[in-house]
Amino acid sequence: MTVTPEGDPGRPRLLVIGVGQRFRRDDGLGCRVAATVRAHAAGTVDVVSCAGDACDLVSLWDGRTDVIVVDAMVSGAAPGTLAEFEIAADGGGDDAEAGGFSTHAHGVMAAVGLARALGRLPARLRILAIEAADTGWGDGLTPAVEAAASIAARRILDESRHGGGFLMPGGPAAG
Amino acid sequence: MTRKQIVVDALARVEGEGGLRIRLRDHRPPEVMLRIYEPPRFFEGFLRGRSMHEIPDITARICGICPIAYQMSGASAIEDACEVTVSEPVRRLRRLMYCGEWIESHGLHVFMLHAPDFLGYADAIRMAADHREIVVDALRAKKVGNTLVAAIGGREIHPVSVRVGGFWRAPAKAGLEALRPELEWAAARVRELLPWLASLPVPDFERDYEFVALHHDEDYAIERGRIVSSRGLDIPVRDFLRVFSEQHVEHSNALHVVTAAEQAPYHVGPLARYNLNFAQLPQGIRAAAAEVGLVPPVRNPFRSLAVRAVEMLYACEEAIALIDTYEPPVPPCATVTPKAGTGHGATEAPRGMLYHRYRLDETGLVHDARIIPPTAQNLRCMEEDLAAYVPPRVDLPADRLTWECEQAVRNYDPCISCATHFLEVEVIRDGDAGG
């Protein structure tokens, strides 16, 4: 999963990391968004999927300057709600309290905490989260999440072509 | 009157979900329960009726840390049933791939999961703030293992190249040779860190374990060998279930494995391998280990941290040697014709010996499967370690005692997900909790 930065000299090449397990229904949304971006922007955006192992995430984004991590969230919001979090290099709390570091009970935030402690956060790291409805056994996304995953992929593709931000903060996804 | 209970609801820095409860009362032996509440996963059940050729891919899914162990033990068992012996180049490529898993798994456990215990940090994130260089290098070393597995298996987690009889595709030599510089770096860095790891303070605690591991005269056993023990056992893999038996205990969804004759615990994993197979390590590694005081038999389970590092060093050097002599096996796979019968396979997962047994019909369908992971074999040892460890330390502050109990469990790098196929810790002092 080594990703070599390249691209326009004036603009850092975007890396999109889809996190999840596609056999746990909506938990696979990160992989779905990654696959869609890869299909439409191969050669201009680097795209990888991973299970969310903190060590792997830190290795994947090491040396990169512009990274979007796409993952499922369970916050109690309406299924399909999109949320974007910009990760600050200096943090704002106790990273370890975001889940600590284990191998099963970890999350993306453990990777963020580890990378911050190591001084290895990308200059710009955004987490694009979509509220999941069903993370039970099985393949395929629920309808609201399917729609939100399409919107998220389109916004990432738009940004990769035109620059700028890609997401309105909070609220159910709107086309 | 001493009435204490140690309770940890969810053990941290282990693979999977489980808890620990220790109850101490006057004049009674300590009650130790490693509560494995992760749900059973029923792999052995749903393997029935599947083709023998599906075994490597299905059983790999039991674990994201040691999928290759499952693939190798599974494939070996099927090959045993079908009376097939793989070619020497295939066996060596399997061993090379297995080295990648040892590097990856040991690197994760030694530096990211277990070292924080010895240094007084709650986890690797907090440790990273003070030991940045070591954590950065640990991530790099772990990645070396990942990359090696991916180069052979197509991807680092649940690789896809392994099949019964060998590989779907053998990698080109140039692709493996490209990994040599990073393997050399990892070997040198682990060798450099070994004195530091071996100097980390460990409790004064030893037990007279029966160590059990695979043994092969020609090399440090990983993917082949007979089952031997520190008390004279020496049997072929096919006799595993004659000598060892599984027990169900009420507090655990993982079975406990004990010796069939005495119903006694035994110890598998790095300490067992190291003590039983020290002579098979290269002289340079034996010397490096001896220099830091790791002279077998090592019976202090807390020294498993340093022994794992020795094995990590070995895996790096062994991988380099295997790459240097590598020629892609042609063909990459032996022809395996289904045969009615029963096959047995055992290999050394990073945590210890992993045994598989399958009964096949003449078309190669699986009629019965038994999978006995290393953590299930070590559970009784973990409980007995704690039963011996806690009473002399019962006056320690509760948080300190709980910390040390968790550390004692992590000596085994338990994979609860494999064993149920585990860890929260509870030290309950009856006076505090009314228990």
**CATH no. for residue A115?**
3.40.50.1450
For position B433, what pLDDT does the model report? 43
Residue in A49, A103, A108, A109 to test binding to B, most B beta-carbons within 10 Å: A103
Give the CATH number for residue B418: 1.10.645.10
For position B254, what pLDDT does the model report? 82
Residues A85 and A121 sit within 8 Å (Cβ to Cβ) = no
**Range with lowest mean pLDDT among A4-18, B85-99, B143-157, B417-431:** B417-431
| Distance from the A37 Cα atom to the nearest Cα atom in chain B, whole angstroms | 21
Once rounded to an integer, what is the mean pLDDT over residues A28-50? 93
Give contacts of A2 with chain B, Cβ < 8 Å: 147
Interchain CB distance below 8 Å, A118 and B124: no
Q: CB distance from A118 to chain B under 8 Å?
A: yes
pLDDT tens sequence across A86-117: 998 776 554 544 445 555 546 788 899 999 99
Q: In angstroms, how far apart are the furthest CA atoms of chain B? A: 71
- Pull the structure tokens for residue B423: 């860890």
For position B429, what pLDDT does the model report? 59
**Range with lowest mean pLDDT among A152-156, B23-27, B55-59, B150-154:** B23-27
Residue A68, in any domain of the structure: yes
Question: What is the SS3 assignment for A175?
Answer: coil
For position B149, what pLDDT does the model report? 97
Once rounded to an integer, what is the mean pLDDT over residues B311-340? 97
> Could you write out the three-class secondary structure of chain B?
CCEEEEEECCCCCCECCEEEEEEEECCCCCEEEEEECCCCCCHHHHCCCCEHHHHHHHHHCCCCCCHHHHHHHHHHHHHHHCCCCCCHHHHHHHHHHHHHHHHHHHHHHHHHHHHHHHHCCCCHHHHHHHCHHHHHHHHHHHHHHHHHHHHHHCCCCCCCCEECCEECCCCCHHHHHCCHHHHHHHHHHHHHHHHHHHHCCCCCCCCCCCEEEEECCCCCCCCCCEEEECCCCEECHHHHHHHEEEECCCCECCCEEEECCCCCCCECCHHHHHHHHHHHCCHHHHHHHHHCCCCCCCCCHHHHHHHHHHHHHHHHHHHHHHHHCCCCCCCCECCCCCCCEEEEEEEEECCEEEEEEEEECCCCEEEEEEEECHHHHHHHHHHHHHHHHCHHHCCCCHHHHHHHHHHHHHCCCCEHHHHCCCECCEEECHHHHCC
* Whether the predicted pLDDT of B89 surpasses 90: yes
Task: Name the DSSP class of A8.
Answer: -
* Whether the predicted pLDDT of B398 surpasses 80: yes
Once rounded to an integer, what is the mean pLDDT over residues B56-74? 93
pLDDT tens sequence across B237-287: 999 999 999 988 888 888 899 999 999 999 999 999 999 999 999 999 999
Please tell me the distance from the alpha carbon of residue B305 to that of residue B308, in angstroms, as a whole number. Answer: 5
Residue A48, in any domain of the structure: yes
For position B93, what pLDDT does the model report? 98
For position A170, what pLDDT does the model report? 43
Residue A143, in any domain of the structure: yes
Which value does ipTM take for this structure? Answer: 0.76
β-pair partners for B21: B7, B426
Residue A7, in any domain of the structure: no
* Whether the predicted pLDDT of B220 surpasses 90: yes
For position B231, what pLDDT does the model report? 97
Residue A140, in any domain of the structure: yes
For position B12, what pLDDT does the model report? 61
From the list B435, B420, B410, the residue with the least C-alpha distance to B249 is B420
Interchain CB distance below 8 Å, B125 and A117: yes
Question: In what helix (H) or strand (E) does residue A119 lie, and over which residues does it extend?
Answer: none
- CA-based nearest residue in chain B for residue A106: B13
**Band of residue A153 on the pLDDT scale cut at 50, 70, 90:** very high
> By percentage, how much of chain A surpasses pLDDT 70?
77
Domain containing A142 equals: 15-162
- Pull the structure tokens for residue B89: 């180049």
Once rounded to an integer, what is the mean pLDDT over residues B153-166? 93
Q: Greater confidence, A89 or B200? A: B200
Q: CB distance from B119 to chain A under 8 Å?
A: no
For chain B, the straight-line distance linking the first and the last C-alpha, in angstroms and rounded, comes to: 14
Determine how β-strand B19-25 pairs with β-strand B3-8.
antiparallel
- CA-based nearest residue in chain A for residue B125: A114
- CA-based nearest residue in chain A for residue B134: A118
Q: CB distance from A173 to chain B under 8 Å?
A: no
Q: Which of B122, B146, B147 sits opposite A100 (nearest CB)?
A: B122
**Range with lowest mean pLDDT among A12-16, B286-290, B299-303, B353-357:** A12-16
For position B46, what pLDDT does the model report? 87
> By percentage, how much of chain B surpasses pLDDT 90?
75
Residue A4, in any domain of the structure: no
For position B345, what pLDDT does the model report? 98
Peptide bond into A122 cis (omega under 30): no
* Whether the predicted pLDDT of A7 surpasses 70: no
Q: Looking at the 3D structure of chain A, how many domains does it have?
A: 1
> By percentage, how much of chain B surpasses pLDDT 70?
92
| Distance from the A174 Cα atom to the nearest Cα atom in chain B, whole angstroms | 36
For position B47, what pLDDT does the model report? 94
**Range with lowest mean pLDDT among B67-81, B168-182, B184-198, B402-416:** B402-416
**Range with lowest mean pLDDT among A164-168, B23-27, B192-196, B380-384:** A164-168
Q: CB distance from A4 to chain B under 8 Å?
A: no
Q: Greater confidence, B18 or B67? A: B67
Burial class of residue B331 (count of CB atoms within 10 Å of its CB; 0-12, 13-18, 19+): middle
* Whether the predicted pLDDT of A36 surpasses 60: yes
Give contacts of A114 with chain B, Cβ < 8 Å: 124-125, 128, 135
Residue in A50, A97, A102, A109 to test binding to B, most B beta-carbons within 10 Å: A102
Q: Looking at the 3D structure of chain B, how many domains does it have?
A: 1
